[in-house]
Amino acid sequence: MSLRVALVHDWLTGMRGGEKCLEALCELFPSATVFTLVHVRGSVSETIERMDIHTSFVQRLPFGRKKYRSFLPLFPAAIEQFDLRSFDLVVSSSHCVAKGVIPGAAATHVCYCHTPMRYVWAMYDEYFGGDRLSRPARSAVSLLANYLRMWDVASSQRVDAFAANSENVRRRIWRYYRRRADVVFPPVDTNSTWLSSKDVGYFLIVSAFAPYKRIGLAIEAFNQLGERLVIIGTGQEEKRLKRAAGRNVEFLGWVEPARLWEYYANCRALVFPGEEDFGIVPVEAQCFGKPVIALGRGGALETVRGVWASEHDDAGEGGHTRPGGRAGAAGHTGVFFREQTPAQLVEAVHRFRTLEFDPEAIRRHALQFDRAVFKSKMKELVDRQLSSRAEDGVASSQG
C-alpha cells in the first residue's frame, strides 16, 4: 500500500524562502495533499500550484486572502480543523501554526521548522513593540500573545521529530519547546545560478517588507551614502518605505526568477539588514559570487563567512575573525555589522569598499546549500521516523 502523505504549510501567498522548502517537499512527495490556511492562486511555483491544495476557513473570511495576518487569533483553530486521519505521514513546513495540525493516531508527524512562531517569541517587540500600537491595543495583543505561546508549546508535542533550518533555530526549538531537532539547511537551486564578475554599480536587497526585515534601516543608511540601492520585494510596510527613500533607492516589486537572477548577477553586493532564522537570499547571492553585507546575528552567521566592519571588533560570533588590510577578505564572503543602526550599516559599506573578494571562492562556499542536499537529508529523517514508528508498532503487537 502506498504511503498517504499530507504536507502542511502556513500560507501560500508568495514564493519566499519557506515556499521554496515546500516546493522541494512537493518534489519529494509528488502525490501528497497540501493543507494551508490561505492560498492565493498563481502566487507560488507551478510545482506547488499543481498539487491538491486544501485551504482553511480563513480563506473564505472577508479579505481573508489579502489581510490574513489580521486573523492571527483564529489561526490555531483554523489549522486544527483539517482532518488528517486518513494520512500515514504528515510533514509540516512551519513558521507560524502549521506544526499545530492534529495528525491521526497512527500517523508520523515530521516538522520542518523555520522558527517557533516569531510573532510571540523572539521578534514580539519588532512586530508589536514601541509606538506600533496604541496602549489599549498593546494590552489586548499581550493577552493574545500569552495564549498563542501556550498553544504553541502545547501543540509542539504533536510532532514526532523536528528539523530546524539552522543551528540558530535548533536552539530556539529547545529553548521554547524543550524538543531536540536535526539541522537541515533550506534548499537553494544552485543549478540555475552562475558565477558572475559583473558589477553594474548597485547594491541589492531582496526581501519581504515585514518589520523585522529592517528595510527602513537600509534605506536610511543608503540615503546618507548616496549609493544606488535596488530593492526587490513587497509587503505591509511598502508605502512607509517608499516615502522614506531618496532618489538613489529603486523599488521593483517582486520579479520573475530569471530577472531576479540577473539582478543578483549584476549587483555589487547584497545588503541583508535583518536578523533571519536562516536566510536563503544571502546564499542565492553568494551562488553568483557576490559578497553579502549583513547583520552579524542569526542565520547569517551560518551562511556568510564575514569580516567584521568595525576595526574594534576582534572576534565575532560563530568564530569569524576580523582580518586586517585589503587582503583580509581572502576566504571570506561578506562583511558583518554588529548593531541594527544606519551608522553601523554605513560603516560596513565603507569597510566593504576597502576589501577584495574572490567570486569563485564565494560561489564554492554557497554550493554546500544545494537543493539536493536538503531533499536527501529530509528523506533520511522521514525514513528514520517511519522505521521507528513501524518498530514501535511491532513491539506493541508482540507485547
Cα gap 215→235, rounded to integer Å: 11
The reply to whether domains 5-187+373-398 and 190-369 share a CATH topology is yes
End-to-end CA gap in the chain: 25
Q: What is the pLDDT along the chain (399 residues), one digit of tens a residue?
A: 589 999 999 999 998 889 999 999 999 999 999 999 999 999 999 999 999 999 999 999 999 988 998 899 999 999 999 999 999 999 999 999 999 999 999 999 999 999 999 878 766 566 666 666 676 666 777 888 899 999 999 999 999 999 999 998 999 999 999 999 999 999 988 889 999 999 999 999 999 898 889 999 999 999 999 999 999 999 889 999 999 999 999 999 999 889 999 999 999 999 999 998 888 899 999 999 999 999 999 889 999 999 999 866 544 444 444 333 333 456 899 999 999 999 999 999 999 999 999 999 999 999 999 999 999 999 999 999 999 887 765 544 555
Domain boundaries, the chain: 5-187+373-398, 190-369
Instruction: Give the predicted TM-score (pTM) of the model.
Output: 0.77
Q: Which CATH superfamily is domain 190-369 in?
A: Glycogen Phosphorylase B; (3.40.50.2000)
**Residues, the chain:** 399
Which phi and psi angles does 360 have, rounded to 5°?
-65, -40
The three-point CA angle 281-282-283 to 5° equals: 90
Cα gap 187→58, rounded to integer Å: 29
Pick left, alpha or beta for residue 253 (phi over 0 → left; psi -120 to 50 → alpha; otherwise beta): left
Nine cell digits for residue 349: 559599506
Cα gap 14→273, rounded to integer Å: 21
| 5-187+373-398: CATH number | 3.40.50.2000
Pick left, alpha or beta for residue 319 (phi over 0 → left; psi -120 to 50 → alpha; otherwise beta): left
- Under 8 Å between Cβ of 24 and 371: yes
